[in-house]
Structure 1
């Protein structure tokens, strides 16, 4: 099976080169091209035929939502993930509303980024848990709880009724890692089991 074709759109060369270097070690993903602006992305995308576009939220010539709309016209099959350093920016929600399939913060760990891109390619919508309030819960409540982003994400999936193996499949984590995150979340919430943890998290405004 051939690797998924990835296009990186960012006005910073270090980001474009960094993503290309990172994904070089991932056989399921291959960077086939890049663009430094929105217009360049729309011009090059039809020839590059990307399966996935990693799109910077802030470009020098166009707003990300505009680029998302344009990409969906010229490459309707491509999945689009906004990649930004500004997790609380209103443009994140605007990009999602325009049709982006996911959003990730640029300081995401390499394994988290790769796992997120794989999930988007499988048809899931993936939003970094530190981003949009509607998707991620209350950031202030998250900070008060002491939960890490990963602990919160695992707990949120558990609240949806998913089993540990299902959470592992969804997040790209090992089953033992999922169990560790859940146990840590239970400890921080002062809960004896996952049902109690979900109840406490809900009361705290996290779910």
Structure 2
């Protein structure tokens, strides 16, 4: 029950900060490019390896922070934060920042370089 509430709070934070949110259920009917397909279940994430910095960025995004704030907190440029988010989204096989955040909240023991 707590995890579900955390997900809703993360979605709400993203919306408040001006981010877009599209539920995964709606995305299932949308055609995806052949180079990137969404994994069928959480069990398929066993090969995901995030760098330490990617974990830092994802953790901050899951806390509802904007790229500008993440950049300031981590001493990075906004462009670098966007690039990290792009790589995170690609590695996780999700469609957007919100889905990456939801994945993070479902996998609280993510550590850099470790298979999740």
Separation of aligned partners in 2, 1:157 and 1:147: 14
Contact 1:189–1:201 (CA<8 Å) still a contact in 2? no
Separation of aligned partners in 1, 2:94 and 2:109: 15
Q: Where does residue 175 of structure 1 map in the other structure? A: 78
CA deviations 1:47-93 (Å, max 9, x no partner) are xxxxxxxxxxxxxxxxxxxxxxxxxxxxxxxxxxxxxxxxxxxxxxx
CA RMSD of aligned residues (A): 1.8
Unaligned runs of 5+ in 2: 1-45, 111-116
Q: Where does residue 154 of structure 1 map in the other structure? A: 57
Separation of aligned partners in 1, 2:48 and 2:109: 9
Deviation at 1:144, TM superposition (A): 4.8
Unaligned runs of 5+ in 1: 1-142
Separation of aligned partners in 1, 2:105 and 2:61: 12
Q: Which has the higher contact order (CA 8 A, sep 6+)?
A: 2
Structure that is richer in strand per residue: 1
The partner residue of 1:201 within 101, 104, 110 is: 104
- TM (normalized to structure 2)? 0.51
Secondary structure of residue in 2 paired with 1:165: helix
Deviation at 1:202, TM superposition (A): 2.2
Deviation at 1:198, TM superposition (A): 1.0
Max Rg structure? 1
Structure that is richer in helix per residue: 2
